[in-house]
Amino acid sequence: MTDLSFYSIIPYKDYLIKLDKPISGFAYYKNHAINLLTGEKIVSNFSNWISSLEKKKINEETIHPRVIHLFYELGFYIENELAYIAEETLLAIDCEYEKFQKISPGLPPQIKLKLKSSPNIVQYKKDFDKGYVELLQGNCYQFNLTCPYEYSFDEDYEPLDFVFSLWKNERKRGAFGSATYIPIFKKLYLSNSPECLFQFKGNTLSSMPIKGTFKRVDCADWKPLWKKLKRDKKSQAELYMISDLLRNDLSRIEKPQAQIVKKKFPKLVPGLIHQCSQIDVELSDNVSLWRVIEKIFPGGSITGAPKLRAMRLIYQLEKRHRGFYCGSTLILLKKMKSASINIRSGEIDFTTENRTLLFQAGGGITLLSEAEDEFQEMTYKHNSFIDTLTL
């Protein structure tokens, strides 16, 4: 039986765009794929999907709207670190749609969640200290340490209830947010991300990493807080280190050298102020979509530097798969070509026996970091998403 009920939604300007009437949809694993229209499991070589992206030029206008979710563990595949990928590890979801339309958020019910588990400061400090030793020994210069929060809900919510609740307030919508509901999995992938892995306009590819976070009151004047944040040595060290990593990543796509065109600028999100940079590179017409993904995914802001060493360390410390969180969502819609970094993101399970929301948060650790401060910053990021969703 064919299921045509999955969809994707993205916030855009002052409205939402819903992509529906799927033409095709597949979930890709290391050695198989699942047809999201039929539920059929297919023996598949993952490299075949990569080959299809190698044939798609980054400057091509997209005929059919397409949403591609790259899961964090795809980074290990790109680095040929296959031992970190289990057979059932989801690497990508690729959905192509027939149409799209503007919609407005309905009147959602208030989402009520029950906290099942959350990070423990004692365990966090242990993981922090283990990673900090790697910094002291020079094995890496920054690593991103994250933790999971799990919630349950009793109400018979629909996926759109979560989508509309998160985005009911236009001012609180993440510029790179996305939502995709997969009925076969009974799962909603929901992101209110403010962070850009890349945007492609003209022949310019831009990346805008976020590093550095202060808590703020939404209605208060943020400019004094910005002055304080941009003078913070720890935050500046984080940002400059990752900006340099991204400059190198973008430069690997082609010969032209990427340039940091904005060293530091503010970004306001619910309850927080971040600092960002912008790195640009000019690309030729020959560059494929996969070439871009291969050279810059996963984003350095959610790994650390050097990237592969940081990813290996993260795997040892976190002892779990990040999945949708810290992956990227690519939106290909006519001339729009953009990719997020899926922070402020959750996976919502609607199975009757397991109605849960998994949220993850964290931050970059450098030699200037203090465990208690990093743990507190993580809770601020958690609150930014959960409060937007539930209040």
pLDDT band at 222 (very low <50, low <70, confident <90, very high): very high
Can you give the pLDDT at residue 4? 62
Mean pLDDT calculated for residue range 301-327 = 98
Total domains present in the chain: 1
Is residue 293 in some structural domain? Answer: yes
Is residue 1 in some structural domain? Answer: no
Q: What is the dihedral of CA 79, 84, 86, 89, to 10 degrees?
A: -60
pLDDT band at 1 (very low <50, low <70, confident <90, very high): very low
Residue from 221, 212, 219 nearest 377 by CA = 212
pLDDT band at 106 (very low <50, low <70, confident <90, very high): confident
69 residue type, one letter = H
pTM for this entry: 0.97
Cα 207 from Cα 194, distance rounded (Å): 12
Mean pLDDT calculated for residue range 94-112 = 94
Mean pLDDT calculated for residue range 176-199 = 97
Mean pLDDT of the chain: 96
Can you give the pLDDT at residue 256? 82
Please identify which residue in the block is written with the tokens 């970059």: 364
Cα 197 from Cα 207, distance rounded (Å): 5
HEC states along the chain?
Answer: CCCCCCEEEEEECCEEEEEEEEEEEEEECCCEEEECCCCCEEECCHHHHHHHHHCCECCCCCCCCEEEEECCCHHHHHCCCHHHCCCCCCCEEEEEEEEEEEECCCCCCCCCCEEEECCCHHHHHHHHHHHHHHHHCCCCCEEEEEEEEEEECCCCCCHHHHHHHHCCCHHHCCCCCEEEEECCCCEEEEECCCCEEEEEECCEEEEECEEEEEECCCCCCCHHHHHHHHCCHHHHHHHHHHHHHHHHHHHCCCCCCCEEEEEEEEEEECCEEEEEEEEEEECCCCCEHHHHHHHHCCCHHHCEECHHHHHHHHHHHHCCCCCCCCCEEEEEECCEEEEECCCCEEEEECCCCCCEEEEEEEEEECCCCCHHHHHHHHHHHHHHHHHHHHC
Q: Kind of pairing, strands 15-28 and 66-70?
A: unpaired
Q: Which residues contact 84 (CB under 8 A, 6 or more apart)?
A: 73, 76, 312, 315
The percent of residues above 90 in pLDDT, for the chain, comes to 93
Can you give the pLDDT at residue 352? 86
161: domain CATH number? 3.60.120.10
Is residue 283 in some structural domain? Answer: yes
Is residue 29 in some structural domain? Answer: yes
User: Can you give the length of the chain in residues?
Assistant: 391
Contact present, 112 and 34 (Cβ < 8 Å): no
Quick one: tokens of 341?
Answer: 């970094």
Q: Is pLDDT of 322 > 60?
A: yes
pLDDT band at 320 (very low <50, low <70, confident <90, very high): very high
Is residue 2 in some structural domain? Answer: no
Q: Is pLDDT of 84 > 60?
A: yes
Which domain range does residue 70 map to? 7-390
Residue from 365, 362, 376 nearest 147 by CA = 362
Quick one: tokens of 91?
Answer: 């690497």
Can you give the pLDDT at residue 3? 57
CA 274 centroid distance within chain: 16
Per mean pLDDT, which range of 2-11, 94-103, 310-319, 368-377 is the poorest?
2-11
Is residue 350 in some structural domain? Answer: yes
Is residue 254 in some structural domain? Answer: yes
Neighbours of 200 (CB within 10 A): 20
Mean pLDDT calculated for residue range 274-279 = 98
